[in-house]
Structure 1
Amino acid sequence: MFQVLRRLLGYARPHVGVLVAAFLCMALLGLGTGAYAYLMGPALRFLLSGGENGFGGAQPVPWLSSVSRETALWGFPVVMLIVGAIKGVGYLGQFYFMGLFAQKTVADLRRALFIRLTSLSPAQLGRERTGDLLSRFTSDVQAVEAAAMYTVGSYLRDSLQIVVLAGVALSLSPLLGGLMLCVLPLAALPASRLTRKALKGTREGQVQLGHIAGQLQEGLGGMRTIQAFNGQAAELERFSSHAREHEEALVRAAWARGGVPGVMEVLAAAALAGALAYAAATHAMEPESLLSFLTAVVLVYQPVKDLGRVTQFAMQAGAAGERLFSLLDQRHPVEDAPGAASAPALERELRLEDVVFSYGERRALDGLTLSLPVGQVVALVGPSGGGKSTLTQLLLRFERPGSGRFLLDGVDADRYTAASVRAKFALVTQEPLLFSGSVLENLRMARPDASREDVEAAARVAHADGFIRALPEGYDTRVGERGAKLSGGQRQRLCIARAVLSRAPVLVLDEATSSLDPESEREVQAALAQVLPGRTAVVIAHRLSTVVDADRICVVEAGKIVEQGRHEELLARGGRYSALWSLQSGAERGAA
């Protein structure tokens, strides 16, 4: 845990100046607390005795011998008010600066998390549950924020107060002060064991909270399916199981955390009782010194207990940090080599050469070679699981081949930055993904500096301008979450317009029409007929009728290209493509 906390403190290093300002305010607070303890005995002694001998004949306080009773009657309250004002300024300053410190630290952490998330490959993100990722952004980051706000501040403030109050106690009675301080290490062993148990429970609780968030996200996304199959009871049982484990883990952690201040309370009472018994038996201290000493003892154990209490925030931050760093430590499969250059304009072809790629034990591509000449439309067809979509993962540099090469005009793509290679492609997937902004904002995502005229021109090419202008606010209409206010065909045409607007030289269509109804498919096909001629394009298709005009059709099966050529050539060969064509044609006639 301590290594994780040290890493978290690394995000605080740029804001050490704010922490220093908070520490100065804490110093005022600590000195004010020490002044309270030191003045308590003399003030009470002088006010009760008027500076004369009293309290069993003890000598008056030397530095008060020249102060009159009348002066003391208003002087001590004024001094106490001044000390209280100093403490108030210290409290206000330390909370403000610690709050500023916590927010700046957490802002840097959130930014690092967001950068890491957006830099991971789709396959890496696919292995994580969306709800669990959201839980790390919310509850885990909040745990770090609480630790930065309360734990760091408490460790500095309370440690400073302990030092000041211990100094007051030692100055009044070195013997009793030393005995009081010796009690503190006695709490270390039980507190350490309880802390480890609390950390284990806290870690388990954070994991279960991630499971709860993951199930909630899945449930909200699949509510129609859950209700259609009357699966509410099963989902409730699964949720209840996670909630029960989360509750049990946090209860165990709370029990262990509660034991730490309990131990400190017992030891504090023992130290106080011992000091009283010793002072009563030996008469070794003046009454006012004994009162100040006991005040220091009582006050010193409060910050000690506070340190034990706020340790829970450190433990929660440690457990949360482990989950955060498990994400931050991931690296994209395709990282830029040192000295990688920006990819130049594409002039001749893209080429995958003898490529092998596996998902774990399953081989997706097995020595595949594919050429994509500039200006040609190449279609990839074949059964599901044959490796078609994996090819797009390699082209877009989401994954790196296990062996083989990816070449741009004969130059290995590893010599170029992944971002510059990826900029050569515009992707349109089976699921048209839009964001909750306006139509204009969604289209400009491809090119933020595009003018309104450029956006409208791209929409016209994609056969989208007509329906956009018919929307209530035209291009400024908000499309809803994931484009919920539009039909599937409209969403897909916006995605095609976005790809056109990007001006990327290569267009990748991954099953772009497979999930559409016949009418929407015709609309999208009309848009593609306008977009594809003269472009370099990779078209992955399930329906063979959508790629009959491609310059070359490649049949991909078991990670290999088993057949390639134009539509008419492949039909004439009577091979695998011809069999697939006959199968689909027969199915379509049967459906008709």
Structure 2
Amino acid sequence: MHHALWRLLRYAKPHVGILVLAFACMAVLGLATGAYAYLLGPALRFLLSGGEEGFASAHRVPWLADLPREAALWGFPVFVLAVGALKGVGYLGQFYFMGLFAQRVVKDLRRDLFLRLTALSPSQLSKERTGDLLSRFSSDVMAVELAAMYTVGSYLRDTIQVLVLASVALAMSPVLGGLMLAVIPLAALPASKLTRKVLKGTREGQAHLGQLAGQLHEGLGGLRTIQAFNGQEAELARFESYAKAHEEAVVGAAWARGGVPGLMEVLAAAALAGALGYAAATRAMEPEALLSLLTAVILVYQPVKDLGRVTQFAVQAGAAGERLFALLDLKHPVEDAASAVPAPALHESLRMEDVRFFYGERRALDGLTLDLKVGQVAALVGGSGGGKSTVTSLLLRFERPQQGRILLDGVDADTYTAASVRSQFALVTQEPLLFHGTVLENLRHAKPEATKEEVEAAAKVANADAFIQGLPQGYDTRIGERGVTLSGGQRQRLCIARAVLSKAPVLVLDEATSSLDPENEREVQAALAKVLPGRTALVIAHRLSTVTNADVIHVVEAGRIVESGSHADLLQKEGRYAAMWRLQTSGPIERGAA
């Protein structure tokens, strides 16, 4: 936890100027609070005596003692009011600047989290539950925000107040002041044990909260399936088990958290009782001095208790920081070498040479060699699990092969930065990915600086312009999250238009029509018939009907290319491709129908 807290403190470094302003306000607040305690006893004696005894003898404020009696009677309340106003300004300034500081820290942290999450490979993110990731981005970051707003400020403000008030108490009477302040270090050991219990409960509670968020996200995403199989009770039972574990962890932490101020109250009462008994027995102090001493000590316990309370925020932030840094410390499997340079645009060929790749123990590619020449449309076909989509992950540098090389115009891809290699490809996946926003904003995602004319030209190439113009606001129509207001074919044609707009050298279609019904598939195929001619493209498909016009078709099985050729050539070979073609076009489905 301490390591996580130190790392979180690094986020404060760029905003130390704001902390200095907050610290100045806290210093004013601390001094004003000390002034209250210091003046309370003499003020009471001065006012009760009507000023007859003089304030200088009552307590060391010469300028009041030298005033005429009437002026002193009016001057002291005005002085108290001025101290109160100063204290109010100190409070206002420290809360404003600490709030500003907390928001700046959290903004930087969220930015780093967003950059890290969007920079990880899809396979890394697939190991995490989306709801748990969202929980870290929300509740864990909120724990850091609370610590930045209250803990840092409280440590500064309350430490100043403790030092000022303790100095006042010791100045009044070293013996009595020391006796009443001695409880503070006595409370340290049991308080540290309770804090460890708080840390354990907080850490477990944050983890269980992530499980709850993960199940909620899964439940909302799979609502149709849950209801179709009447699985609400099973999901509720799982939810309740997570909720109970979260409750037990949080309640345990709350019990330990409440023990710290409770312990301080008991010890403070004991110290005050002992000091009052001693003062009564020895008559060692004047009443007004004793009143100032007691006021200082009573006031000092509040910031001490506040320090104990806000320490719990630090504990929560430490537990949250551990979860956040577990994400921030993840490294992408393909990191740029120090000598990496931007890749030039592909102008001859792309080659995967004897590539082997494993997902854990499972072999996905086993010595695959693939050549794609510029201007050529190549297709990868085969059954599920053969390794086709792994080819996409390797080409776009989502993963690095354990063996073999990827060559761009004969140069190893490791020579280039991953971002510049990815810029060589425009990807269209099986699941059309669109963002909440307008059609125009979605298309410009590939090229933010594109003009309206360039966007419309790309949409026309992808057979998307006609249906876009028919939308209520045309290109300015908002299409909802993931494009839910459009049909599957419309969404996919927008994705193809976006790929065309990017003008990347290589177009990669990864099962781009496999999730579409026949009508939508025909729409997308018509779009591809306009897009593919003359382009460099790699088409990964399960349905063979989508690749019959490819220049070369590669059949992939068990991570290797077992056949290559044009559609006509492969049918003549009567090999694996011909068997797959017969199965998909006129095979056992028709013979088994009844």
Instruction: Give the TM bin, normalised by the shorter chain.
Output: over 0.9
Query: Per-residue deviation at 1:445?
Result: 0.7
- Whole-angstrom distance in 2 between the partners of 1:355 and 1:41: 85
- The one-letter code matched in structure 2 to 1:398 is F
Deviations 1:106-158 (A, max 9, x none): 11111111111111111111111111111111111111111111111111100
Matched, 1:533 2:533: yes
Query: Per-residue deviation at 1:78?
Result: 1.2
In 1, are the aligned partners of 2:51 and 2:73 still within 8 Å (CA)? no
Q: What residue number does 2:84 align with?
A: 84
Q: What residue number does 1:450 align with?
A: 450
- Whole-angstrom distance in 1 between the partners of 2:2 and 2:430: 46
Query: Per-residue deviation at 1:267?
Result: 1.2
Deviations 1:217-254 (A, max 9, x none): 11111111111111111111111111111111110000
The verdict on how the C-alpha distance between 1:61 and 1:14 changes in structure 2, with shifts beyond 3 A counting, is closer
Q: What residue number does 1:524 align with?
A: 524
102-111 vs 582-591, which moves further = 582-591
Q: What residue number does 1:435 align with?
A: 435
Q: Which runs of 5+ in 1 are unaligned?
A: none
432-441 vs 71-80, which moves further = 71-80
Deviations 1:165-184 (A, max 9, x none): 01101111112222233221
Q: What residue number does 1:341 align with?
A: 341
Q: What residue number does 1:268 align with?
A: 268
Matched, 1:507 2:503: no
Q: What residue number does 2:94 align with?
A: 94
- Whole-angstrom distance in 2 between the partners of 1:42 and 1:49: 11
- Whole-angstrom distance in 1 between the partners of 2:434 and 2:316: 37
232-241 vs 68-77, which moves further = 68-77
Query: Per-residue deviation at 1:591?
Result: 8.3
Q: What residue number does 2:20 align with?
A: 20
- Whole-angstrom distance in 2 between the partners of 1:279 and 1:497: 87
Q: What residue number does 1:417 align with?
A: 417
Matched residue of 1:358: which SS?
A: strand
- The one-letter code matched in structure 1 to 2:329 is D
Deviations 1:454-506 (A, max 9, x none): 11111111111111111111111111111111100111111111111110110
- The one-letter code matched in structure 1 to 2:506 is V
- The one-letter code matched in structure 1 to 2:23 is F
In 2, are the aligned partners of 1:51 and 1:61 still within 8 Å (CA)? no
- Whole-angstrom distance in 2 between the partners of 1:151 and 1:195: 15
- The one-letter code matched in structure 2 to 1:347 is H
Deviations 1:321-353 (A, max 9, x none): 111111111111111111311101212111111
Query: Per-residue deviation at 1:69?
Result: 4.1
335-344 vs 60-69, which moves further = 60-69
- Whole-angstrom distance in 1 between the partners of 2:68 and 2:588: 111
- Whole-angstrom distance in 2 between the partners of 1:363 and 1:182: 67
Alpha-carbon RMSD across the aligned residues, in angstroms, is 1.6
Query: Per-residue deviation at 1:200?
Result: 0.7
Q: What residue number does 2:370 align with?
A: 370
Q: How many residues align?
A: 589
Query: Per-residue deviation at 1:533?
Result: 1.1
Query: Per-residue deviation at 1:52?
Result: 5.4
- The one-letter code matched in structure 2 to 1:272 is L
20-29 vs 547-556, which moves further = 547-556
Matched, 1:211 2:246: no
Deviations 1:507-528 (A, max 9, x none): 1111111111111111111111
Deviations 1:16-36 (A, max 9, x none): 000000000000100000000
Deviations 1:50-104 (A, max 9, x none): 45569xxx97546465455433322221111011000000000001101110111
The verdict on how the C-alpha distance between 1:428 and 1:591 changes in structure 2, with shifts beyond 3 A counting, is farther
- Whole-angstrom distance in 1 between the partners of 2:182 and 2:215: 51
Matched residue of 2:93: which SS?
A: helix
In 1, are the aligned partners of 2:52 and 2:69 still within 8 Å (CA)? no
The verdict on how the C-alpha distance between 1:60 and 1:243 changes in structure 2, with shifts beyond 3 A counting, is closer
In 2, are the aligned partners of 1:423 and 1:504 still within 8 Å (CA)? yes
- Whole-angstrom distance in 1 between the partners of 2:69 and 2:132: 69
- The one-letter code matched in structure 2 to 1:3 is H
Q: What residue number does 2:191 align with?
A: 191
Query: Per-residue deviation at 1:48?
Result: 1.9
Query: Per-residue deviation at 1:382?
Result: 0.9
Output the TM-score relative to the length of structure 2.
0.97
- Whole-angstrom distance in 1 between the partners of 2:496 and 2:561: 27
The verdict on how the C-alpha distance between 1:60 and 1:86 changes in structure 2, with shifts beyond 3 A counting, is closer
Q: What residue number does 1:381 align with?
A: 381
Matched, 1:169 2:169: yes
- Whole-angstrom distance in 1 between the partners of 2:500 and 2:94: 55
Matches within 5 A, 1:478-497: 478-497=478-497
Matched, 1:546 2:546: yes
Query: Per-residue deviation at 1:264?
Result: 0.9
Q: What residue number does 2:132 align with?
A: 132
The verdict on how the C-alpha distance between 1:338 and 1:60 changes in structure 2, with shifts beyond 3 A counting, is closer
- Whole-angstrom distance in 2 between the partners of 1:239 and 1:65: 72
Matched, 1:180 2:157: no
Matched, 1:399 2:396: no
Output the TM-score relative to the length of structure 1.
0.97
467-476 vs 28-37, which moves further = 467-476
- Whole-angstrom distance in 1 between the partners of 2:418 and 2:175: 70
Matched residue of 1:11: which SS?
A: helix
Matches within 5 A, 1:37-186: 37-50=37-50, 60-61=58-59, 63=62, 66-186=66-186
- Whole-angstrom distance in 1 between the partners of 2:571 and 2:127: 40
In 2, are the aligned partners of 1:430 and 1:510 still within 8 Å (CA)? yes
- Whole-angstrom distance in 2 between the partners of 1:61 and 1:355: 88
Query: Per-residue deviation at 1:312?
Result: 1.6
In 2, are the aligned partners of 1:52 and 1:60 still within 8 Å (CA)? no
Deviations 1:254-288 (A, max 9, x none): 00000011111111111111211111111111211
In 2, are the aligned partners of 1:51 and 1:60 still within 8 Å (CA)? no
In 1, are the aligned partners of 2:181 and 2:297 still within 8 Å (CA)? no
The verdict on how the C-alpha distance between 1:453 and 1:591 changes in structure 2, with shifts beyond 3 A counting, is farther
- The one-letter code matched in structure 1 to 2:151 is T
370-379 vs 566-575, which moves further = 566-575
Q: What residue number does 2:571 align with?
A: 571
In 1, are the aligned partners of 2:51 and 2:72 still within 8 Å (CA)? no
- Whole-angstrom distance in 1 between the partners of 2:558 and 2:187: 65
In 1, are the aligned partners of 2:50 and 2:73 still within 8 Å (CA)? no
Q: Which runs of 5+ in 2 are unaligned?
A: none
Q: What residue number does 2:561 align with?
A: 561
The verdict on how the C-alpha distance between 1:448 and 1:35 changes in structure 2, with shifts beyond 3 A counting, is same
562-571 vs 401-410, which moves further = 562-571
In 2, are the aligned partners of 1:444 and 1:498 still within 8 Å (CA)? yes
Q: Percent identity?
A: 76
Matched, 1:251 2:251: yes
Deviations 1:518-544 (A, max 9, x none): 111111111111111111111111111
- Whole-angstrom distance in 2 between the partners of 1:390 and 1:112: 29
Runs of 4+ in 1 over 6 A off after TM superposition: none
The verdict on how the C-alpha distance between 1:61 and 1:111 changes in structure 2, with shifts beyond 3 A counting, is closer
- The one-letter code matched in structure 1 to 2:42 is P
Query: Per-residue deviation at 1:560?
Result: 1.1
- Whole-angstrom distance in 1 between the partners of 2:5 and 2:322: 9
Q: What residue number does 2:314 align with?
A: 314
Matched residue of 1:427: which SS?
A: strand
- The one-letter code matched in structure 2 to 1:343 is A
